[in-house]
Copies of this chain bind each other. A is one copy, B any other.
Amino acid sequence: MHYAPDIASPPPALRRGLACCNDACRHAHACQATRGGAAELLAMREIVERAGPFADGDRLVQPDAPHLAAYAVLSGLAMTVGGGRVLAFHLPGELFALDATRQGQHTHSVVAVGKTWFCRFPRAATDALCEHDDAIASHLRGLRREERRRPAQGDDAPALARVASFLADLLTRRRQVEPDTTFIPLPMSRDDIGSYLGMSAATVTRMLARLRADGILTVRNDGVCIADAAALAGHGLTA
């Protein structure tokens, strides 16, 4: 729980545009910025700036600061923090910080978890693209709606179900990028997971232990290996 101790010295953008955002990128096929296959979206590649590396706890954006860009995770992990709670985790290939207040300010903090690189989409360039191209505009509108809707989480479900469906969600999202993976990296602390799920860190550990005892996963010190994804989904049922 030591996030955002100070604003990190903002690392410079090292490379820009097609020089860094092209089919050679690990997530090119699945990146939320260009996903969907529509050729029009490829224009997004030309406005990208690569930003990083950020170290653990560095704050990428802070609330009330002017909204100058949206971001995608290139590698590592980021989380959105607000009101003393973790509101979302962002995996490689996922866009975030799309939303802004009516006054054009960020609504939450976003902090890096471990060493992390980002792809930066400057606001001005993005807006220009949206005016030119309806496909891009509606694509981003959809993602923004999705981001805003997230916080609606299962609230009074038992702890085991919340952890299970959290992992199932992470697995699904990771498989957008790496289809057959069974490993879910968890570089964030148990406290952060607990904050996100509304339970104590000790309970997170206990629920993982229970899933392990049920043969559903194995716990490593950098994440979990899902042995039985179907059973995992089964535990997440609210029934």
Q: A180 contacts the other chain (Cβ, under 8 Å)?
A: no
- List which A169-201 residues lie within 8 A (CB) of chain B: 198
Copies of chain A in the complex: 2
Q: A23 near B: Cβ within 8 Å? A: no
Interface size range on A against B: under 10
A156 at the interface (CB under 8 A from B): yes
Interface of A is mostly: loop
Query: Within residues 112 to 160 of chain A, which ones have a CB less than 8 A from any CB in chain B?
Result: 155-156
**Complex alpha-carbon distance, A156 and B156, angstroms:** 8
Point out the residues of chain B lying under 8 angstroms from A156, CB to CB.
Answer: 155-156, 198
Shortest A145–chain B CB gap in Å is: 18
Q: Kindly list chain B residues whose C-beta atoms are within 8 Å of the C-beta of A198.
A: 156
Chain B residues with Cβ below 8 Å from A155 are 155-156
Q: Chain B nearest CB: distance from A19 CB in Å?
A: 47
- Complex CA gap A198/B157 in Å reads 12
- In the assembled complex, how far is the CB of residue A80 from the closest CB belonging to chain B, in whole angstroms? 20
List 4 A-B residue pairs with CB atoms under 8 Å apart, sorted by A's residue number. A155-B155, A155-B156, A156-B156, A156-B198
Please list the residues of chain A having a beta carbon within 8 angstroms of any beta carbon in chain B. Answer: 155-156, 198
